[in-house]
Chain A
Amino acid sequence: MSTQRYQLPDEPRPGALTQAAVDPMWPMFAFILVGAWMGYLWFALNAFALGSPTKQRELGLIGVALAGSALAFFGLAGAYESGWLDPGSLKYALLGVIAIKLACAYGLHVMQSRVFELFTYFGGQAKNGAVVLVLGFVMLKAPVAKMLSGGVLGVLLQ
């Protein structure tokens, strides 16, 4: 009896975007060491690169981080203007803005870690994000900080 072998297709090479996938720890480091702006951008890119099923929620969380920290900042500025907060208390209260950004960044990290685990479990190859992080730290941190300094954007994105 002659048996015709059933042919299985080869796996296609991953697309350019998939090849940019990294461990979400790298965007988290970028958030802490370079600035929130780089962390948000990298988390957003990584959501697409990982093909994250929670990408809408992840992008929404970046929106919440921006809107929440803006709201907290303007609220505190209003409280200071109205005399409810003195300069000594204001610096403690401003930690709340950082806490909002940090909580959202950790939330993004948790969501992407779950997807990343599955991505690597099924053979996905992640890039090492160290080079991008070092480049961001050495080449972009200072100029972006200078560009954003003094404004509301600086509070939201740094």
Chain B
Amino acid sequence: MTAARVTYLVEQAQQQMGRGQVDMAIATLTEALGLDPNVARAHALLAVCLRDRNRLTAAALEAGAALAGAPQDPFSHYAAGAVHEARREWRQAEQHYQTAIELAPEADWTRRGLGRLYLVWGRLRDAKPWLDAACEADPEDAANLATLAHWHLESGDAARAEAIAREALRIDPHESEALVVLGYAVLRQGRVDEALEHAAWAVQNDPSDRATLSLLVAVKMRKNPLTGLWFRFATFIGSGSSTRMVLLLVGMYLAVRVASMALGDFGQPGAANAVNFIWLGFCVYTWFAPMLFQRALRKELEQVRLRPDY
């Protein structure tokens, strides 16, 4: 009787997680574990839920309990990987995801987990094969496509990201990562009004998600004449690899310094000063605009408070 009830509760929690009802899933899983504290799958699911609610210490304990109860279950390793990833322990996360892949070589979600970790880590080249493999394993899973679209966005190919995100949304119109990626992809291509529509849709879908609210703030910043220029500059600088970004920024600095010094050498001190002042103004502007962005995001986050029973 108890075993049947626990099984039912674990299944119910999985459905709640699928609907984004994380707090309800936590309540269901704690009820299941109150009946039988030795159900490894319940511990693993609880670890993922607690991670999503930023309770990383409790999540780590639950992931440990899942691994202790079922060390050969790939989902235990997947949950441990997800928790280590959030705790910024990326080497351990990598090991657990790799073990999960070894234990479930046909599964798509284990490969997506490792690909996503590399994406967060900034190891774009390492991420791509795993994301491709996840999509190959299950081409109809919207989450796989959404993460692949995210990879293309990070790699600076907004058009490709848009196409893949649309494909993901065709399969699941509520896939929140795909909605956010589509919004950013459209915004980067300069279609601001369309991006605002997607942002509104994404917020409606998941009003408490930080990534969703970041998109909404990004659209507002882009529409604002004061911060729109910075947004375009940041998009240009940030669309590509980190090396490209560093080289562009250092190159700009060197170009301005050389121009200013050369103008001084050619007897044009006024022009040299003008170059220096324009550069200073540009620097101050690019320093303050991100602060405005962060402030606007904090405001949006403060406005959103979900009912605890949601």
Contacts and interface: CB of A to CB of B under 8 A. Distances in A.
Contacts, number: 92
B54 A123 contact: yes
A99 B254 contact: yes
A99 B253 contact: yes
Contacts of A119: 88
Given A9-B61, A99-B250, A119-B88, A110 B55 contact: no
A77 interface: no
A12 B245 contact: no
Interface in B1-48: 1-2, 5, 26, 29-35, 37
Nearest to B27: A5
A51 to B, nearest CB: 5
Measured as residues with beta carbon below 8 angstroms from the partner, the interface class of chain A is 35 or more
B52 to A, nearest CB: 9
Interface in A109-123: 110-111, 114-115, 118-119, 121-123
Nearest to A103: B250
Interface centre among A23, A99, A122 (most CB of B within 10 A): A122
Interface residues of B, number: 47
A118 B88 contact: yes
A122 B56 contact: yes
Nearest to B287: A29
B61 A95 contact: no
Contacts of A53: 88-91, 121
B210 A121 contact: yes
B59 to A, nearest CB: 10
A50 B265 CA distance: 46
B72 interface: no
A122 B26 CA distance: 17
B30 A5 contact: yes
A90 to B, nearest CB: 12
A103 B58 contact: no
B274 interface: no
Interface in B46-105: 50-51, 54-58, 61, 86-91
B189 interface: no
A111 B90 CA distance: 14
B171 interface: no
Interface of A: 1, 3-6, 8-12, 23, 25, 29, 32, 50-53, 88, 91-92, 95, 98-99, 102-103, 106-107, 110-111, 114-115, 118-119, 121-123
Interface of B: 1-2, 5, 26, 29-35, 37, 50-51, 54-58, 61, 86-91, 120-122, 210-211, 242, 245-247, 249-250, 253-254, 257-258, 261, 265, 283, 287, 290, 294
Query: What are the nearest 10 A-B pairs in CB distance?
Result: A123-B54, A6-B33, A6-B30, A53-B90, A6-B34, A106-B246, A110-B242, A4-B34, A103-B250, A122-B86
Given A3-B34, A95-B254, A102-B249, 19 more contacts: A3-B31, A6-B30, A8-B50, A8-B55, A51-B88, A52-B88, A53-B88, A88-B265, A95-B258, A98-B257, A99-B250, A106-B245, A110-B122, A110-B246, A114-B120, A118-B86, A118-B120, A122-B56, A122-B87
